[in-house]
A = this chain, B = another copy of it.
Amino acid sequence: MIEQGGPSRRELLSMIGKAGGALAMYQAMTALGHAAETQFTGPPALSGARKGAKVLVLGAGLAGMLAAYELRKAGYTVQLLEYQNRPGGRNHSIRGGDSFTEVGGATQTCEFQPGNYLNPGPWRIPHHHRTLLHYCKAFGVELEPFIQLNHNAFVHSSKTFGGKPQRYKELAVDYKGHVSELLGKALNAGALDQQVTKEDKEKLIASLREWGLLDGNLSYTSGLLASSQRGYDRAPGGGVNGAPTPSKINGLSDVLDSHVWQEMGFFYNYLMQTTMFQPKGGMDMIGKGFARQISDLITYNAKVTKIAQNDKGVTATWEDLKTGKVSEAKADYCVCTIPLAVLNQLDLQVGPKMKAAIGAVPYSNLLKIGLEFKRRFWEEDYSIYGGHSFTDQQIGLISYPNFDFFKDKPAVVLGAFSGGPGGYAMAGMTPEQRIEAALAQGSVFHPAEYRKEFMNGVSWIWSRTPWILGCCASWTEASREQHYQNLVAMDGRIVLAGEHASYYGCWMEGALLSSLDAIERLHKKALAA
């Protein structure tokens, strides 16, 4: 720890950074005890770019736009080609009036009321994604809290409790109660005397008694103590009839069958931990914020068909989707952020190792459905404000909106967020069938309201999205081992970037960190040339 009166932690880090570069900075941050959260050490310092050197960036998702922004700032001439007619890529929001056609030909037009939206791709930002948070602030993107953990939302297991959803708080409190009771009794019986010291044993029992709400016999039982966490049959009130009535705990078997420990673990996931954020007004505010910085560099509706390179430079062939005109874009280097499933279909002049890597990474099949309802019945009738209700049905979960709380107007619920077999099954349906399935399955949580208050819905199937053909890179340990370094290594004048080229696959932070690493290596190579 730095002594009071000395330089601040930030000043010290800045001094170290200037003196010794990123590695020294990183080591110092670790020593000071707060580097663990990120590999981001601030915007890159790319100085000394050769005047006139040009970089072609392919793809105006976050990785491509960040590369364009930082490379231009460093002095490079930058051109950015984008297939779509908008920036952001998967950083996207669907609003009323938006129309899109999926692979297979089905076209949907969103009917949401003004102000409502579905974020089909990224939708929540961890507090430790410092790169993204840095550029959101730098580019004026306002963020608001994303309610991740809601103790009052539901957990639904088709085969438990007669298929009736239970409040998360009830199951979670019961799980830790039963676990505490059993461990307390095992400790008390001496069953763990070889593993735990006498002193720790006593401390552990005392902790379980308090944490697990155990009684004098180390038992977890129904009563006011358990109700102080899991809730009451009749809540406390005021005046003469103010006394509460305790609730009844669930037995171990039912709690285990509910699989609530999966949600309990989910909320502990480093990437899912509170505090989380979302952009005010929709996720695409981020893409738009990036695009504002480099709007003069982007050519939209540009379909790249071929990427060639030689000693002199890189040449990309592209078609203007509005006019059909085919052109060539030439540059000294290329940062390619085209998603792998699409890139794999292009005429790309790179070595066999990168080619193999590009073909080796499968993409996940996530989908999302947005349902607009006339009123916020989940708040008014169920006291659920944001957060998720989980189910083992195809829809995976429903998630409640995190803005406009308490307002009297239509609101959009995320009516499905699923992958795996359920995701494939729903992807195979027509848009109408998907909405029907989402309504039928979501009704388990809100049976009286779900269909009655429904207005309209829209589904987004990543595996049917023509410009990407999947949601995001699904690396396995084995594919990482074999292909990751080959994917990210610069191949001649071409370097890849995007979430697929990171250890934060499927997260915007991965796309940004990948981009920063790619352009730093590109810059070093350009300087050495």
Contacts and interface: CB of A to CB of B under 8 A. Distances in A.
Interface of A: 1-2, 4, 6, 8-10, 26, 30, 34-40, 127-128, 130, 133, 136-137, 143-145, 147, 149-152, 164, 169, 172-173, 175-176, 179-180, 182-183, 185-187, 189, 191-192, 195-197, 199-200, 203-204, 207-208, 210-211, 213, 227-244, 247, 252-253, 256-257, 259, 261-262, 264-265, 268-270, 273-275, 277, 377, 380-387, 402, 405-406, 443, 447-449, 451-452, 484-485, 488-489, 497, 501-504, 510-518, 521
A373 to B, nearest CB: 12
B504 A236 contact: yes
B232 A36 contact: yes
Contact of A382 (B34, B195, B213): B34
Given A240-B485, A264-B211, A235 B128 contact: yes
A503 B237 contact: yes
B200 A239 contact: no
Given A9-B449, A151-B273, A238-B501, 11 more contacts: A9-B381, A36-B234, A36-B247, A204-B252, A204-B256, A213-B265, A227-B270, A230-B270, A232-B270, A240-B485, A242-B517
Nearest to A63: B238
Contact of A34 (B36, B192, B208, B381): B381
Contacts of A265: 210-211, 213, 229
A241 B192 CA distance: 42
A228 B503 CA distance: 12
B406 A137 contact: yes
A216 to B, nearest CB: 15
A39 B196 CA distance: 46
Contact of A237 (B10, B210, B261, B504): B504
Contact of A502 (B147, B239, B488): B239
Contact of A36 (B149, B231, B384, B510): B231
